[in-house]
Structures are given as structure tokens and as C-alpha cells.
Amino acid sequence: MYIPEHEVRAVLTYDALIPAIRQALTDYSAGLVDQPARTILRASNAEGSRNGWFAVMPVIYGDMMGVKTVTFFPGNEELDPALGLHTHMAIVEVLRRSTGEPLAVMDGRLITEMRTAAVSAVALDALAPPEAASLGILGSGVQARSHLRALRLARPALKDVRIWSRTPSHAERLAEETGVRAASIQEAGAADVVLTETASSAPVLEGHWLVPHALVLAVGATGSALRELDDQAMLGSYGVAESRSYVERESGDVRLSGAEVQAEIGEILSGSVTVPRDKPIVFKSVGMAIEDLTAAKLVLKVLGPVNPRPIKKIKE
């Protein structure tokens, strides 16, 4: 069974996805998820920023197995808009763990978009102080829009939303579409909660802008040579990751600053780690296959059977 994006969009909601992601992240940190490192290959299709990559992300969780294949081709933004090509595209396959049967293949672009925002919403709920009322967004792309929906759902008190973009007209357009306001990068960076979702190779968020109780949700610039946060932001904050091993391997923000990951979000959700409140918190996510499988299972719950087949006892 193939499930296209418009069918995924019709059934996948943040109301269902956010609590499911919360449980998946808790289970991941508890050692209940079998998830090897993703494999990434450069496409070598072009020079410089137009060079794309292809990644394979397998996982086993509960009664299901899954694998996502995802591509990132930043040059697609420069191609003819009429082609309608996203920079990120993906496919998710779900298989039954007990038999290995393929259950469905579905478009994974929207799943990637929504599960990323859902992870940030879980982190917001767990890490932001109760009095947080302002949200600064650095970036104006797909993730800015999806995060705005998910974060507002998780924390309705975030009324003061400030958007900055390298292209001011993009920030102004998004602000107008969503009923928020465009702002300078310094003002956005001084919000109670700061979302960074750029593809920058050099820091855009400076640590001296952060308020003492700030929560930074760093979801962009995935790659060991890319970064969005400067050394002051990284070294002066308490570092939380969705996966310690993934972030230490794949995040330039961590690798290039020398900052330590002090906890996984799943450890905080389970109560095994308590976060200090005397400094800013940086939550870094790079995306994991368990998040994609969790979202895909919710889609299958509505559009296809997911109940495991009974396994007959082998005669002795």
C-alpha cells in the first residue's frame, strides 16, 4: 500500500503526534529502541551548496520495523519554482516485526516536517519555564511554519512571536500569514524561547542575546560542519539532545564548540535527570528514525491495519 502526502496530511495531527513522540523519546532513552546510526551518501550532483545528500534511517520499535530514505538538495530552491521541488524529500516504509511483511510505503516529506516540530513541542513542554511568553524564530522556511503550529499548541501562552529571516520580505510574509510580527535578529534572539531553523554554516544566534531563563530549540544546520549557535550560546547553556550519540556525531553546534550534551530529553521526561534552571537551556535535535516510525504508525492506525498477526507455536 502506498500512501501519498495528501492522505498523510488528512490524518496526521499534532494532537496525536506530540504525545506519541513524547513516549517514543522516553522509550529511546530507556534503551527500548533498536536504531543504528543513519548512513549518509553525498550525491555529488553539483558543486558547493547545490550538492545534495541521500540518507537511510532504519529502526525497530515495539511491533514494527521501519526505514526512511531521505534526500536533501538545497539547490532545489534555485530551480524553476514551477517544478514544485522541496529541498527535503523522503519515503517511509513500515514492516511488521513478527513476520517482516511490508505493511505500507508512504511519502515522508510531511512526516519529517511534522515530527521535527513535534519533537520541539515535547522539549518546549518539558524545558521552558512556566512564565515563558515570547517566541523568537530565526528562519522563515517550512520548519518555521510547522513549528509555529506545534509550539502554539504545546504552549498557548506564547503570544509574543517574533520572526527574523536573512531575507526580510520572507519574514514579513510569514508574519502576515500567521498573525505575528517580523523583528530584528537581536529581538528574536532575546525571546524566552528561541527557535533556530536555518541551514547556516556560521552561527546566527549569539549567546549574549539570550535571557537567563531562555530555551533554545536548535533544529537547523544538521551536519558536523554546520552551526547556528555561537560558542557563548553553546558553552554557557545546559545542553540537552534527543539522542546524545546522534547529536555528538552529527551536530556542528556541539562538535565545533566543544560543548557537552548533559542529558537526553527522554531522561528528563522519565524523571531520571533534573534540569538546572540557573542558565539557558539548548535543546539540539538532528532527527531520528524512531520519530518517523512513530508518525507513520499513527497514519497506519487510520489508513491501514497494524495489528500483529498471531504467531503459531512451532511443534516440538
Q: Let me know if residue 267 belongs to a domain.
A: yes
Judge contact between 263 and 275, C-beta under 8 A. yes
What is the C-alpha separation between 13 and 19, in angstroms, rounded?
11
At residue 142, φ and ψ (nearest 5 deg) are -55, -45
Q: What is the mean pLDDT of residues 182-187?
A: 97
Specify the pLDDT at position 228: 96
**Side chain identity, residue 213:** H
Q: Do 241 and 296 reside in the same domain of the chain?
A: no
What is the C-alpha separation between 121 and 133, in angstroms, rounded?
15
Checking if the pLDDT of 215 tops 60, the result is: yes
CATH of the domain at 202: 3.40.50.720
As a whole number, the mean pLDDT across the chain is: 92
Q: Let me know if residue 310 belongs to a domain.
A: no
Q: Do 185 and 268 reside in the same domain of the chain?
A: yes
Q: Let me know if residue 47 belongs to a domain.
A: yes
Task: Encode pLDDT of 58-105 as tens digits.
Answer: 999 999 999 999 998 878 877 766 667 888 899 999 999 999 999 999
Q: Do 217 and 166 reside in the same domain of the chain?
A: yes
Q: Do 283 and 150 reside in the same domain of the chain?
A: yes
Label residue 19 by pLDDT band (50, 70, 90).
very high
Specify the pLDDT at position 314: 38
Residue 71 DSSP SS3: strand
CATH of the domain at 106: 3.30.1780.10
Q: Which domain holds residue 228?
A: 129-287
Q: Let me know if residue 49 belongs to a domain.
A: yes
Q: Do 180 and 192 reside in the same domain of the chain?
A: yes
Q: Let me know if residue 121 belongs to a domain.
A: no
Q: Where are the alpha helices (DSSP H) in the chain?
A: 5-11, 14-29, 109-127, 142-154, 168-178, 185-189, 231-235, 244-250, 252-257, 265-270, 289-303
Specify the pLDDT at position 196: 97
Q: Let me know if residue 40 belongs to a domain.
A: yes
Specify the pLDDT at position 42: 87
Specify the pLDDT at position 305: 62
Residues facing 41 on adjacent strands: 54
Judge contact between 236 and 260, C-beta under 8 A. no
Specify the pLDDT at position 111: 97
Q: What is the mean pLDDT of residues 22-32?
A: 98
Specify the pLDDT at position 208: 98
Q: Let me know if residue 96 belongs to a domain.
A: yes
Q: Do 44 and 177 reside in the same domain of the chain?
A: no
Checking if the pLDDT of 191 tops 50, the result is: yes
Q: Do 142 and 259 reside in the same domain of the chain?
A: yes
Task: Encode pLDDT of 248-261 as tens digits.
Answer: 999 999 999 999 99
**Higher-confidence position of 51 and 173:** 173
Q: Let me know if residue 244 belongs to a domain.
A: yes
Q: What percent of the chain has pLDDT over 70?
A: 95
Q: Do 104 and 26 reside in the same domain of the chain?
A: yes
Whole-angstrom CA distances from 269 to 24, 156, 273 are 11, 20, 8
Sheet holding 281-284, edge to edge: 181-182, 160-164, 134-138, 193-196, 215-218, 281-284, 238-241, 263-264
Q: Do 6 and 29 reside in the same domain of the chain?
A: yes
All 3 cell numbers of residue 63?
Answer: 511491533
Q: Do 252 and 222 reside in the same domain of the chain?
A: yes
Q: Do 163 and 274 reside in the same domain of the chain?
A: yes
Q: What is the mean pLDDT of residues 162-186?
A: 96
Q: Do 54 and 200 reside in the same domain of the chain?
A: no
Checking if the pLDDT of 309 tops 80, the result is: no
Q: What is the mean pLDDT of residues 180-189?
A: 97
Residue 167 DSSP SS3: coil
Number of separate domains in the chain: 2
Checking if the pLDDT of 53 tops 90, the result is: no
Judge contact between 65 and 92, C-beta under 8 A. no
